[in-house]
Each structure stands twice: as C-alpha cells, then as structure tokens.
Amino acid sequence: MRAYERLLNYVKVYTTSDEDSTTFPSTARQFDLAKILVEELKELGVSDASVDDNCYVFGSIPATPGYEDKKAIGFIAHMDTAPDFCGENVNPIVEENYDGEDIVLGTSGRVIKVADFPHLKTLKGRTLIHTDGTTLLGADDKSGIAEIMTFVEEIINSDTPHGKICIGFTPDEEIGAGPDHFDVEAFGADFAYTVDGGAENAVEYENFNAASAKVVFNGVNIHPGDAKDIMVNAALVAMEFNAMLPPTEVPSKTSGYEGFFHLIDMKGDVAKAELSYIIRDHDATKFADKKKVMEHACNIINQNYGEGTCELTIKDQYQNMIEKIKPHMFLIDYAFQALKDAGENPEAVAIRGGTDGARLSFMGLPCPNLGTGGYNFHGPMEHITAEGMDTVVKVLHGIINLVAAE
C-alpha cells in the first residue's frame, strides 16, 4: 500500500486536540486513531506495538542478527490535528495528474491560487490530495504517520539488514504537549527523527524558542456620565498595551529567522480585558529581549493607571533544538545523503514553529525533523502529493541503510 492511500484513511479519523482541556490527552478521540495504528502495526509484524494510558503508540523492529550494535533509530509522528480549523468529517479529494493551476476546493467557494502559492507549479503532473474547503486535511501529521507505516511494511517484508528501529506516535503535539509524558527510555532509540515537516526535501534542526503570554487588564467601571478621572477602561488599556509592541514584529511581516509577537486571542469589556500572545524567536538573546519588551509595557501600564491594572504571565514552551543537535550533526548528514540518494536536492529549513522533536531533544533524545511533502498546514488550503510522500518513505529507508552501513 502506498503512503497516500493510508493517509486517505487516517484523515477521516477525528483527532483534533484541545488547548483548553485539562486532561491528557486533551481529547479522548485521539485514542480512536491510536488503536487503529496499534492493530495495523501488529498486522504488519510489529509484535510489541501498544498504546498506553496517555495515548502514546510505541513499537519496535528488532535489529537484523549481526546488526545489534548499530544505532537504534526512531521515527516519530503525531496523531492530533490542529484546533485552528475544523478537523471533523474530512473529505479528502484526490486529483490525479494535477495541471498546476488554481485549485477549486469543492463547493466551499475557497480556491488555492497559484498567485498566492507559486510552489503549486512545481507539483504539476502529480497526484494531488487536498480538502473540499470545509475542513483542514490533517496531513499534519497523518502524512508522517502514513509514511512511517509504509516504511515499516516495506522494511519488514524486505531482506534489508538494519539496526533496531523504534516507532512512536504521539498525541497533543499541536498544543505543545506531545512530549509531556513521552518515556524516552521506554521508546528505546539512541536518536530519532520526527516526520512532521513541509516539503519532502526539507531537513529541519533549528526551531523557534517559544513562550506564551497572557495579559490581564483590570479596569474600573463606572457610569460614563460620572467617569472623569475615575474610569479605567480595560479594553482601551489593552489596546494601549498592544500598541507598545513593535508593529513590524508580527507573523505577517516576518520570515526566515525573524521572530514575532502574535496576538492569538482577545476578549474583554470596561471592567476586565485579556490578551493572549505567543512569542517566538530563533535567537535566544532576541527571544529574551522580546519578553522584556512585554514586561516593560506592563510596567508602563501600571505606572500610568495604578499597580495591578496589568498582570502579565509568560510561560516558556520550548527551546531551539540546534544546541542539542550540533553535537550529533551526523543525523543531518544521514538525512541529506538519504535525500540525495532519493534524487532530491536537500534543503536545511529553519522551523517557524516547533515540533515534538524540539522538546524531545532537550529530554535526551536528539530529534531533528524531516519533511512530509505537505503544504499549507492548519487550514482548508492544506495539500500534499502522493509522489512527495513516496519520496519521504525512500528517505526513511535511506537513513536506515546509512546507519546499517557504518
């Protein structure tokens, strides 16, 4: 079975995570896919496949006799889909021999335009998989799961010698909680790769340093007719706070290694208001400076309106994995060589976000990220090609072959 055929099945399982949940996993529905994957792994010959109480799916393929001393390599993908857009009742559309032109998404009225996404021209002639415009696709990261599963099937049914191979599927990656209960020792790998990136030729080993920021504004509400020198309008104070942040350091005006402040939610009235942000930067010093900018803005608000008017809570989420990958750059060498062997031109891409691998690297499992062949994740314009997924499967084989050859 080709990887894209598996993807078509997996995306129909509703697995969206919930950032407001207090449980782990954040949604019980993620177990629905986990159980399917365990059964499939067992059918493929992964006898120790299992899902634990925290919804982690683990399994392993023992080393070929004589190859037990080779590095144990893991491949990891996540089961949840992003809560940014509807992930229920996904209806994937398969478009064979794609013509490289604008893509009309069913009857939704949405169109993926070449003018907005020039990479579409490079996909001409491929088998394209996209949404009907009413949901996301879920290729982030069910494509990674499908690619790993296809690799597992192929290598078990081949006579290719290899070291130990570890397989892991995680919940709640999209809300930053994927590694919360990940048992690195039980997983059993010396090193691993997440298969959770974009284009199939991408190799990612730098990511944002990340934090969330919640800012609460406590106002003074009084009849507007009697408000002079008394009222403190929390909603207006919140606007004043946001205006103190650098206006060009937002996602829509940054790219590459440039960090940002991203206002993701706002609510409130005269008495109380709340702003929620995420803070991102690849550079640790600039990241720390961004947090100081927020602290300074909060202090100014309290100086102007009284102590306690502004309450700022910043929580670090994950760090740039590069410092943990640098001592193990052979992992990147493996990925680059495997891509070349698959006929691709590998490209190192800085992640403008994070992955399970970022946190796992700091938990003692160095874990760079490989592309999946997908584009435009987290929304209705998400798409992927069957051929791109096939390439990723070849890359996984290539990495294992390189490890076995050492």
Give CA–CA dist 398/378, Å, rounded.
29
- CA atoms of 89 and 74, how far apart (whole Å): 31
CA distance 14 to 50: 20
The Cα 272–Cα 13 span in angstroms is 39
Let me know: does 198 contact 349? Beta carbons within 8 Å: yes
What's the one-letter identity of residue 200? Answer: E
User: 108 in the Ramachandran plot: left (φ > 0), alpha (ψ -120 to 50) or beta?
Assistant: alpha
Instruction: State the residue for tokens 């997924």.
Output: 389
Task: Please confirm, yes or no, whether 140 is among the known catalytic residues.
Answer: no
Q: Is 262 left (phi over 0), alpha (psi -120 to 50) or beta?
A: beta
Closest CA to 303 of 315, 295, 314: 295
User: SS3 of 255, please?
Assistant: coil
Q: Which residue in the list 40, 80, 140, 356 is annotated as catalytic?
A: 80
How far apart CA 312 and CA 366 sit, in angstroms, is 33
Nearest CA to 26 out of 168, 174, 212, 210 is that of 174
Which of the following is catalytic: 173, 196, 200, 356?
173
User: Is 139 buried (19+), middle (13-18) or exposed (0-12) by CB count in 10 A?
Assistant: buried
Distance CA 154, CA 175 (A): 32
Treating both helix axes as pointing N-terminal to C-terminal, what angle do 386-405 and 139-156 enclose, rounded to 10 degrees? Answer: 50
Contacts of 125 (CB under 8 A, 6+ apart): 97, 98, 100
68 is catalytic: no
The C-alpha atoms of residue 396 and residue 147 are separated, in whole angstroms, by 9
> CA-to-CA distance for 98 and 372, rounded, in angstroms?
19
Question: Which positions are catalytic?
Answer: 80, 173
